[in-house]
Amino acid sequence: MEIKNLNFLADKVAALILEANRVVVFTGAGVSTESGIPDFRSPGGIWSRFDPDDFTIQKFMRSHETRKMQWQMLREGSLLKDAEPNQAHYAVAELEKLGKLTCVITQNIDNLHQKAGNSPDKVFELHGNMKRVRCMGCDNRFPMEDILQRLKEDEVPDCHLCRGILKPDAVFFGEALPQKALNDATHHSRHCDLFIVIGSTLVVYPAAYMPMYAVESGAKLVIINLSPTPMDSQATVLITSKAGEAMVKIVEKVKKQSST
């Protein structure tokens, strides 16, 4: 996108942010990819290297061999990438510092919004978080790092509290979304006055219902994405750009407009 055009659109988005009382940011894989994390569905992503059937909750729960394979992949780093936040993450965190962010709803499982400085209680992770491990028996959560340490002795670690099955706290195929995160995300989507989509094609449901709820409730919609989405025609501002490039410019304009 030409700098002149991006400047013009960033000005418009900044004005919308300053006018709004309840701003919700919704992020997808296009934000994570700028930190070097491949989109699961893109060439080089998880699904081009592994069988998605091995990531169904049903197979994970019934097959010791499937669990063994996944923990082996985690130990080797095939499923976890030690990524750092990028400009888009820091810009979203800056909106919170400026008092112009109600919450972040994310499809990403990398914990990078929190790492960039967003308050964990303002980040609703619809697809879970790979930095945590969940016990399927007692529902306790543990840091992934602690469980990975045990892989030197246990090929398939179990819960030290109840001996239940441990799994990464990301949503597998066939598994319900975390109910509290989904309820909170739905509530904020229905009660915001500005909804900003960053780096999502809006084709994965039920997450993609969130901008629909916002628009149905009268909120203005901003979409920042490199490829088209099904909701482009409903956007007040549409920016075809990389997430980091656009968000840095938008936050710049928010600061400039708020000081004049």
The catalytic residue positions are 127
The tokens describing 99, both together, are 């008092």
What is the strand order of the sheet 166-170 is part of? 141-143, 128-135, 166-170
Q: State the helix-helix crossing angle for 243-258 and 87-97, rounded to 10 degrees.
A: 30
Decide: 132 and 144 in contact? Cβ < 8 Å: yes
* Encoded tokens for 167: 């799994």
C-alpha to C-alpha distance for 100 and 104, rounded to whole angstroms: 11
DSSP character for 233?
A: G
The full DSSP string for 30-89 is: HHHGGGTPPPTTSTTSHHHHS-GGGGBHHHHHH-HHHHHHHHHHHHHTSS-------HHH
Q: Are 214 and 195 in contact (CB under 8 A)?
A: yes
